[in-house]
A = this chain, B = another copy of it.
Amino acid sequence: MKTTRQKDVFKEHQSLIARHKKEMKNSLAEYLQISEEGIEEIFSAIHFKSYKSGTVLVEPGEVFNDCCLILKGCVRQYHLQDGEEKTTFFFTEDQWFASYYSTTQNKPVPYYLTFVEDTVLSMMSISSEYDLFKKYPEFESVCRTGIEEQLEKYQEMLVSFMSSSPIQRYMNVLENRPDLIQRVPQYQLASYLGITPESLSRIRKRISSPK
């Protein structure tokens, strides 16, 4: 994006959105054995939106009502602790996030969600999701399966984090999400690994020159 003017980004995103709209409709029709109108109704609840790098999607104190899927870009979740930013997640292409708790209990989230890059999201409000669940049990089934997968993924992340050292966690990112190291500033990656930027810098040094 470095030398690309915003206008171009926007244009690029528009065609990307058009492509994804088509794909998504096809997937819906493929996975759901329901009427054409049903597909239309579900599809029309999905919104596509383009965001500029550095902007904020949600911040502490706000209720977060949407389920978001990343079509392109990167979203960072973090909160402030004693004035320090603690980065807890990086969401990238094909990952989704939501806060059912915030929506159903009408409670503000305790974290920020910001865009690390120019980003394109598809999103559905959780209240329409719930309405559609009632109307189309098959849709609920598909989403439930997705939630089960997500649950298992977070369990694994927790297990992995709990049972490894900072250096192992860094190697783990190197292996499983190598793109992150390019996409994300190092001080954000550091707190994502549960350490300080200085420590991460030294870990990288240790790895590159294993004397």
Write the residues of chain A forming the contact surface with B, with a CB cutoff of 8 angstroms.
79, 81, 86, 88, 99-101, 111, 133-134, 137, 140-141, 143-144, 147-152, 154-155, 157-159, 161-163, 191-192, 194
Let me know if A99 and B192 touch, CB within 8 A: no
Q: How far is the CA of A100 from the CA of B144 in the complex (A)?
A: 11
Q: How far is the CA of A88 from the CA of B157 in the complex (A)?
A: 11
Least CB distance from A83 to B in Å reads 13
Among A100, A134, A155, A192, the one with the most B-chain Cβ atoms within 10 Å of its Cβ is A155
**Total identical chains:** 2
Let me know if A163 and B100 touch, CB within 8 A: no
A-B contact pairs, 23 of them (CB 8 A): A86-B163, A99-B152, A100-B148, A100-B151, A100-B152, A101-B149, A101-B152, A133-B141, A133-B144, A137-B137, A137-B140, A140-B141, A143-B144, A147-B148, A151-B151, A151-B154, A154-B154, A154-B155, A158-B161, A161-B161, A161-B162, A162-B192, A163-B194
Which of these, B79, B88, B158, contacts A154 with CB under 8 Å? B158
Q: Write out the residue numbers on chain B whose beta carbons fall within 8 Å of the beta carbon of A155.
A: 154
Let me know if A147 and B149 touch, CB within 8 A: no
Q: Write out the residue numbers on chain B whose beta carbons fall within 8 Å of the beta carbon of A143.
A: 144
Q: Write out the residue numbers on chain B whose beta carbons fall within 8 Å of the beta carbon of A134.
A: 141
Least CB distance from A206 to B in Å reads 20
Q: Known contacts being A99-B152, A144-B140, is A79 close to B133, with CB within 8 Å?
A: no
Q: Write out the residue numbers on chain B whose beta carbons fall within 8 Å of the beta carbon of A150.
A: 151
Q: How far is the CA of A134 from the CA of B144 in the complex (A)?
A: 12
The 9 closest A-B CB pairs, nearest first, are: A137-B137, A86-B163, A100-B148, A154-B154, A151-B151, A144-B144, A88-B159, A101-B152, A158-B158
Q: How far is the CA of A154 from the CA of B144 in the complex (A)?
A: 16
Known: A88-B159, A151-B151. 4 other contacts (CB 8 A): A81-B163, A86-B162, A137-B140, A144-B144
Q: Write out the residue numbers on chain B whose beta carbons fall within 8 Å of the beta carbon of A133.
A: 141, 144
